[in-house]
Amino acid sequence: MKAISQTFQEISPADFFYRNREIAGFANPVRAIFSAIRELVENSLDATEPMGILPDIYIRLSNMSDEDENFYVLRVKDNGSGIPADYVPLAFCQFLFSSKYKLKQSRGTFGLGGTMTILYGQITTNKPVKVISSTGPPKIYEYTLMIDIQRNRPIVLDRRIYDNNDKWHGTIVEVNLEGDYPKAMPKILEYLKQTAIVNPYANITFVDPRGRLYKFERTVAKLPRQPRETLPHPHGIDVETVYRIIRITRCKTLLDFMQEHFHRVGKRTAQRFLEFAGFPEDADPKKLKPEEVVRLVQAMKNFNEFLPPDADCLSPLGEDILKAGILKELEPEFVAVTQRSPSAYSGHPFIVEVGIAYGGKIPVGEDLILYRFANKIPLVYDESGDVSWRIIKSINWRNYGLMPGMPFAVLVHICSTKIPWKTVGKEMIADRPEVSREILNGIRDVARQLGAYLSKKEKAKYEKTRLSIFAKYLPKIAEFSAKLAGKEKIPDIGELLRRARKIEED
3-state per-residue secondary structure call for 251-304: CCCHHHHHHHHCCCCCHHHHHHHHHHHCCCCCCCHHHCCHHHHHHHHHHHHHCC
Task: Determine the distance from the C-alpha atom of residue 311 to the mean position of all C-alpha atoms in its chain, rounded to a whole number.
Answer: 16
Q: How far is the CB of 244 from a second copy (least distance, A)?
A: 7
Residues 152-211 that bind a second copy (CB under 8 A): 169
CA distance 19 to 173: 24
Per rule CB under 8 A, is residue 138 in the interface with a second copy? no
Indicate which single residue of 151, 215, 225, 239 sits in contact with a second copy (rule: CB under 8 A). Answer: 239
Pairwise CA distance, residues 249 & 243, whole Å: 10
Ordered DSSP codes for 300-329? HHH-TTSPPPPGGG-----HHHHHHHHHHH
Q: Does 94 bind a second copy (CB under 8 A)?
A: yes
Residue span binding a second copy (CB under 8 A) among the ranges 23-31, 248-256, 399-407, 453-461: 23-31
Q: Pick from 30, 231, 251, 293 the residue near a second copy by CB under 8 A.
A: 293
**334 contributes a contact to a second copy by CB under 8 A:** no
Closest by alpha carbon to 136, among 157, 103, 166?
A: 166
Please list every residue from 241 through 270 that binds a second copy, using CB under 8 A: 244
Q: Does 421 bind a second copy (CB under 8 A)?
A: yes
Of the pair 15, 208, the CB lying nearest a second copy is at: 15
Q: What angle do CA 384, 45, 148 make, to 5 degrees?
A: 90
| Nearer Cβ to a second copy (247/472) | 247
Provide the minimum distance between the beta carbon of 49 and a second copy in the complex, in angstroms, as a whole number: 12
238 binds a second copy (CB under 8 A): yes
Q: Write out the binding residues for a second copy, residues 362-391 only, by CB under 8 A.
A: 382, 384-385
Helices 267-277 + 290-302 axis angle, to 10:
120
424 binds a second copy (CB under 8 A): yes
Alpha carbon distance 465, 486 (integer Å): 32
Q: Near a second copy by CB under 8 A, which window of 20-28, 185-193, 332-340, 488-496? A: 20-28
Q: Is 452 in the site for a second copy (CB under 8 A)?
A: no
Residues 137, 141, 147: CA angle, nearest 5 degrees: 150
Is-contact 334 358, C-beta < 8 A? yes
Q: Which of residues 39-78 bind a second copy (CB under 8 A)?
A: 51-53, 68
Angle at 74 (CA atoms; ends 72, 80), nearest 5 degrees: 175
Q: Out of 23, 403, 460, 490, which residue is the one contacting a second copy (CB under 8 A)?
A: 23
Gap between the Cα atoms of 315 and 377, Å rounded: 13
Identify the residue among 378, 420, 442, 451 touching a second copy (CB under 8 A). 420
Q: How far is the CB of 359 from a second copy (least distance, A)?
A: 32
Asked whether position 430 contacts a second copy by CB under 8 A, the answer is: yes
| Chosen residue from 159, 182, 225, 240 binding a second copy by CB under 8 A | 240
